[in-house]
């Protein structure tokens, strides 16, 4: 049995708040310390303002859809627990 810790195959991107394969990530030094950020979001910053805004809206919409889905699932579980 090995005592070595395996590195996760994905990392959490603090910018778009999702997990990406490690190959798509870069460790960025921020004011609060080091954080993982996906290369896609780093490249998006170098685009025009309109393209950055469009990318930000897309990420926000994905985050809203994910949060909404989680809320629906949680609500469904809570209703089942009340009736069960």
Q: What is the pLDDT along the chain (84 residues), one digit of tens a residue?
A: 555 566 669 999 988 888 999 999 999 998 999 999 999 888 888 889 998 888 889 889 988 999 999 999 999 998 888 886
For residue 56, the model assigns a pLDDT of 85
Do 8 and 24 meet the contact criterion of CB atoms below 8 Å apart?
A: no
Which helix (H) or strand (E) covers residue 66, if one does? helix 49-83
Residue 61 located in a structural domain? yes
Residue 17 located in a structural domain? yes
Domain coverage including residue 35: 10-83
* pTM (predicted TM-score): 0.52
Q: Which residues contact 26 (CB under 8 A, 6 or more apart)?
A: 36, 37, 38, 39, 42
Q: Domain count for the chain, please give it.
A: 1
Q: What is the Cα 5 distance to its own chain's centre?
A: 23
């Amino acid at each position: 049995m090995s005592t070595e810790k395996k590195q996760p195959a994905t990392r959490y991107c603090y910018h778009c708040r999702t997990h990406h394969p490690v190959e798509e990530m870069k460790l960025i030094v921020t004011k609060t310390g080091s954080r993982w950020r996906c290369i896609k979001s780093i490249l998006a910053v170098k685009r025009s303002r309109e393209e950055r805004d469009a990318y930000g809206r897309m990420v926000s919409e994905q985050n809203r859809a994910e949060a909404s889905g989680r809320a629906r699932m949680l609500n469904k579980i809570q209703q089942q627990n009340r009736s069960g």
